[in-house]
Each structure stands twice: as C-alpha cells, then as structure tokens.
Amino acid sequence: MAKGGLPMKLLLVDDEPYTREGILSIIAFDKLEIDEVFSAEDGLSGLAMAKEYQPDIILTDVRMPHLDGISMSYQIREFLPCCCIIFMSGFAEKDYLKSAIKLSAINYIEKPFSPEELETTLQLAVTKCNQEKEQLHSSTQLSHTLNLSLPAIRNRIALTVLRPVHDHARAELSTYLQLVYPSFHAGGRWISFLIMLLPESEYSLDSLQTLLEDRLSLSSFNYHFIGMKNENVLVVHIGLSDPDYQDIPVSEIENTCYTLRDILVTACHFILATGQPVSSFYDLYESYQTASISLQRGFFKKKDSIIFYSKATSESAYLLDGTKLIPFEKALKSHDKAAALAWLCSLTAELSHYSSTPVSTCKSFFAQAAICLYELDHMSKINAFPDVSSPMGIQDTIWNMSFLSDIEDYIFQKLEDYFSINDEQYTQNPIAYQIKDYIEQHYTEESLSLTVLSEHFSISESYLCVIFKKTFDITINQYIINLRMSKAKQYLLESNRKIKEISELVGYRDCNYFIRLFKKTYHITPSDFR
C-alpha cells in the first residue's frame, strides 16, 4: 500500500510487446510502492484503460499507431489533471521534449534505458504522487503541515508551481502563501532559476538551500521561494516587481543572476539557468519550463556559468551523424595525431555554438569516437586505457561528465597517451607496425593472407609471424579476423545493410563462412546481434 493509504496505480502504454514484457518483468513495482500495474498496446486502448482504472502514473511510449503518446496524454490530462506522466522514446527531438514540457511530464527518458534509470524515474513519480495526495489531505492534516518551518513551506510552494495550479489547489496554496507573506500578491513579474550543484562541490544541496534562504531573506526582492527539485538541482522563484509594474528591464534579470552567483561562488561549483519572466505567480511553471531548456545548454558552458534563456539560441541543433566520425577514424588509421587532435578541437568549438543540440546526442557521439580509439588501442596492445576494461566503461565515463569541455579534455588526453605509447613502440619494431597498417588498409580484400603479406614486404612467412606476434601478442590471421569482425559489428549497428553485403565489405565472399566466424567471435549470429 502506498504511503498515502490508497493504492498506487500505474498504466504502461507501449506498442512493442517485448518492451512491455521487459518492463513488467524487470521492475519490482511492489518495492516502489506501486500496488497495481496495467498495460495497453497502443494509445487508444491506453486512453480507455486510463478512464477505467484512473492511474496515478502513466509510463508511455511517444510514437505509437492509432493514437501517439503525446495526443493520448493530452486527452488523459482532461480527466486526470494530476497524474504523473513519463514519456519513453528513442527519438531525442526538440518537438517531443516541448510537448512533454507542455504536459508537465515529470520526465522524458530515451530508449534504450537501463532498469536503474527507469526505477529512479518511477521512484520520482511515486514521490510526486504522494506529495500531491498529501496536498489534498483533510483540514486536520493541513493544520499539522502549517506548523512546518517557513523554509519547508517555501520548499513546498516552490515545487507546487512547477505544474499548472488548478482551481481546486489554489485555496490550499493561498493558505501557505499567506503564512510566508501575509500581504502576498500574485501579480507583477516573476522568474524561475535552476541551480545545478556540480559533483565536485563539497557543499550539500541542503546546506546550499539554507544558505540561499538566509541570504535572499536579507535581499530587496519582494518575494522568493526555494525548492529542492531533485538530488542535485534547486529551483528558485523570485518576484522581481510590484503587482502594478509589469515591465522590467533585462538588466534587472542580469543583476538578479549576479546576486545569486555571488552567493553560490563562495560555497560550490554550479550551473545557473534562467527562465523567461512571467506576469503572475501562478504562471511560474512556464518560467520553470524555459529554465529547464536553459539548463540543458549548461553542458556547452563551463562550471560556475550563467545561462540566460534565449529563444534565438534554442532554435537550432547540430547534426551529429556517422559521417562526422569519418575524418577522425581516418586520422587514427593513418596514425595522424595532428589531424585527430585538430578534428576534436574543431568539432567541440563548433558544437559550442549549437547549444540546443541534445546532450544525450553529444555524449553518445563522443562515446563512439572514444570507443573507436579504444578498439584500435585494444587491438594494437598499446594500453592507453589502463583503467577501462570494455567499451561500456568508456561510455559510462563520458555519460557521467557534466560538460562538453570535460569530454574534450578526456579524449584529448587519451589521444596523447595513445600516440605517445604508439610512437615509442613503433621505433622499436617499425616492420610490425607497417604490417598492421597494411592489414588495416586492405582488410576488405578477400585475397589478404599471410602469403600476400610475405610477398609485399619481402619477408618470409615464418619471420613475419614471429615479429608480429612478439609485437602485438596476437597472430596475424587472428588480427585480420578480429579487425574484420569489429568492422562487421559496426556495420550491423550503424546501417541496414544485408548480412551478405556486410560479409563482402569485410572481405568474405562466402557469407556462411562469415556467419560462422562472427558467431565464434561474439557467440551470437549477425542477425541476432542486430
């Protein structure tokens, strides 16, 4: 039974049966205090089940036949205005995010996601539902709540206005407001700020909230409310002007930011993001939504930065696709350190001007680049990644980074390490490296063999095998196979090419032989891997 005493109900809507079954099997809903779980196969059936079962939480895919998740959620909002909505989608697009924001969705998670990520998101939803139920309690419970300290009441107020405040909730909210500010006016200009506490900060979020509360209480602002949005983000709502004064200069917003920054720099490392001003306290959810967009842009800045919301800069995103990796891959294959470093610095500099590019897209792209270097390093036995045991470790490292500049520094250092060690080893046995380079340039040719290499380098096959094995701790034939299988895996992940076509692209005209080698290498067939 949920904390509020009533059953907590969840509706799962997804047109992929494997996705539904997977979620239902891996998530321990009882541990999350979710008592009843229902599932629907599309938006139309999801809408009907929402009317019948009145769920507290809706976990829905975005793209579905008959009725998409966004349209379904708009209709559900008409009769379940307070339900928590979580969107799932493999399409990290701005339009979907905007739709989720308009619906006051509590989260938007991208497929594929981990069970841990989904559990965390569902736990947040349960927490928010319990908060909603607490706000609708009887007058007896409300009287108890009114004995809370003013900071706690401000926290509740700050979190309440992150969603549209419907008429039925205004009376209760007004009671809280009168406790904090007896002569409170909802008019005038209001603005929301989001403060992200960075991991390297020694200050806790609780301590930061207390510090801001103390300092802002001494400021000249008419009103302020501070809430803890999650484990590392504070939301701050500030009344900038009197009720009768609607227009405020941009300089006042800037001065407010600098006031907050001056408080923060003494205590922690942070990102400070602003929303758009709104003309009523009850419209603050709109300012908060734009502040959320601004906060996403913090990834392209440096720590202790202020990000001002701007419609102009939020319109465009940088296209990061596989073609952008080609120059980097060529530089690695040709051992051109200067070209690889230039590619990295040039791309990150260009990306900094496209701050509406989804952060997840950027991290995925640079994770691919780092994995390219890792795989080359792994095959070459250079060991420029001594602290990483698999490509997944590379991905985790980059996904945990807060800024684009951190990712740039990480890859830059790995390139320096790789080429430094590689150059040192190259001088010790240049013939072995020449052989490896030749293999990497001609692996697509079916005729590539020990005999071909022997003739090309005018070295006996036996000596060829000895110097290669001594240098790279792998036989020539196995290196060729590993390289071809690695390229095949890349084609399978990044293209829709037929298995036979991929087989030929990596040097095997006999597709059945290629399939056997792939299964032997990865313990799975190419079709199942895809």
Edge-to-edge strand ranges of the sheet holding 107-110: 36-40, 9-13, 57-61, 84-89, 107-110
Q: DSSP letters of 400-417? A: T-S-HHHHHHHHHHHHHH
Which residues lie across from 270 on neighbouring strands? 197
pLDDT of residue 302: 85
Within the chain, how many helices (H) and strands (E) appear? Answer: 23, 10
177 near 184, Cβ under 8 Å? yes
Query: Do 356 and 316 meet the contact criterion of CB atoms below 8 Å apart?
Result: yes
**pLDDT computed for residue 16 by the predictor:** 92
Radius of gyration of the chain (CA): 28
Using CA of residue 359, residue 394, residue 229, residue 205, what is the dihedral sign? negative
CB 265 within 8 A of CB 222: no
Q: Output the pLDDT for position 314.
A: 45
**Alpha carbon distance 221, 83 (integer Å):** 34
pLDDT at 253: 79
Contact 224, 265 (CB under 8 A): no
Give pLDDT tens digits for 377-436.
Answer: 877 777 788 888 888 889 999 998 889 999 999 999 999 888 887 665 556 678 888 898
What predicted TM-score, i.e. pTM, was given to this entire model?
0.49
Q: What is the pLDDT at residue 140? A: 45
The edge-to-edge listing of strands for the beta sheet with 223-230 is 223-230, 233-239, 190-197, 270-274, 305-307
**pLDDT of 249:** 60
| pLDDT, position 24 | 93
Helix axes 450-457, 461-472, angle to 10 degrees: 100
Give me the torsion for CA of 431, 433, 434, 438, rounded to 10°. Answer: 140
Question: CA-CA distances (angstroms) from residue 36 to 42, 46, 107, 116?
Answer: 19, 15, 21, 20
Chain centre to alpha carbon of residue 159: 23
Residue 119's contacts (CB-CB under 8 Å, 6 or more residues apart) are 27, 28, 32
Extract the residue ranges of the chain whose pLDDT is less than 70: 1-6, 91-106, 135-149, 241-250, 311-315, 422-428
Best CA proximity match to 110, nearest among 120, 118, 119, 122: 118
